[in-house]
Structure 1
């Protein structure tokens, strides 16, 4: 048991570590996507500004280029007729032309740099757009993985718990079978076997009484022997009834339940009411045995554990379904709480599952218990 608990803790630790790691990875990817989106917006804004600047520079450059052309033509004219112009006028035309050429050259260089920056930004934007798409897709896949880890692994854990519960239930069934054999052995030994041994002794006494005291005294002893045989027969029938009620095969589920519940009520000094709805009919033996055992287990739980003073048992036979309700006014319990050695309820669930039925337990501390069972049985 200790090794099993250690294994459970190790599995829970591994699953929790995986969930934490995947959650952190999802957060990091989300952060990368947000940072990329923010950079994309900033670069896109810068790209629009650069495009406006390039348009403005092209327009200014074209105008400046036209001025340079006129200035060079003026300079050529002055150079050809330099005798008509003073040295100062020639220098002024030359410097003006040179200045315009320098301004044009600087604007063209700036335009070139802006164009290069524009191309770089456009490439960066394409890469960022792909990064954002991959981040979003990866985040979506991680969300699926995270859902699988947090939900499906819970189902795996629940399945493992159910498997372990069934294993424990199987072991407890074996233990219960051995305990039942010991109980039957004690009952037969202390009851019918002891009585039959007494019958043997009294039969010898009858023979001796007949020889020594006559027929009248022998008859008295015979009456006593018959009483002992009757008691032994009653005990044998009671043991057989506990193992499997013979009335179940002969009379069916409803008469057998009435007799059984009356016996349990009288023996335990409590009130058990039984009500049958629908058309009373016979089922296959396996269904009648299953229904009887389910009601027997629910009633025994109410008697032994719930400390109930009143138990209501209802059975409703519909064309395609039989429903059982066992209600008590006992101390109740929390159905969600795990209880040790609660293989009675586990056994009921197993039996209901084998019949493709439904079992529900409505209970809370101090409020009694209602057990509802639905078994699909066709007419």
Structure 2
């Protein structure tokens, strides 16, 4: 006889696996979008620099040719010129040659950087497109899990079909993890390749014009800092480590502090009731809902202030995120199923997976209020009240 409670545990496990995959893919998609915009801006800057340096190279080539002609003239008629004139002609030609070599090397580096950025942008476009498709597919799987597989305990005859689906979901998750690892590798790795190219250029520069090395090293240091910041952001987007180390409220305070610092939007966090530790699945869900709400405020609301309120009750957690932004037509936005609606649907599905309720209220010119409550069972508490 099949143990129905065991089947229920399998269902819950599959739901957790699928939800976790969706969180990882969503985080990667958001990061890819931000990285795409950053790389696009960098490409435009590089194109401008290439145009400028081509003009400089053309100018220096003309000046170098002129200096060489002068040197040839002085050399052929050295008796007619003073030794100082000959020396000056030689130094002028040599100086123009060195400057021309430096500019050509820089032009080559910039062209390589431009090609790398163009390839990188194409890869990011593919990543964004694939992640959007995967999120839609996984959302469908989650709906199936919620609407159909939740009754599996009453349909023992369908066990084989469920097991096959569970296996395919887990396999898809593992494949997606491989892809995420590959995308993360390709992104930072390309940045490091650029760093290596700049380092090679600096080595050549040390031989021909050491005085320029300091400025190039400063540029290289800034590139390293930017790459490190990108890697840290990828790691944070995948999962904020402070959530596991400190708990939900400290992690939220840290995130809100950084959010306010980065975007100049004042966010007030209010916690009501006696705080208790939560299961990691529940904690990350609440964190992601608040994170997505604040991202929507930043992108669309034009708000200056946000109030985030969490209320700990014995059997549930209530949450509210309210801003003083421009507001929007909720029905119209949800009907479009793009942009803001994408994030709203993700929050709603996350709450629904945890058997909670989600509501969003907004009026044009009067701000927006996101509300949710999630039931907390004994199993979802870690350490009790």
TM over 0.5: no
Q: TM-score, with normalisation over the residues of structure 2?
A: 0.44
Q: Which has the higher contact order (CA 8 A, sep 6+)?
A: 2
| Greater C-alpha radius of gyration | 1
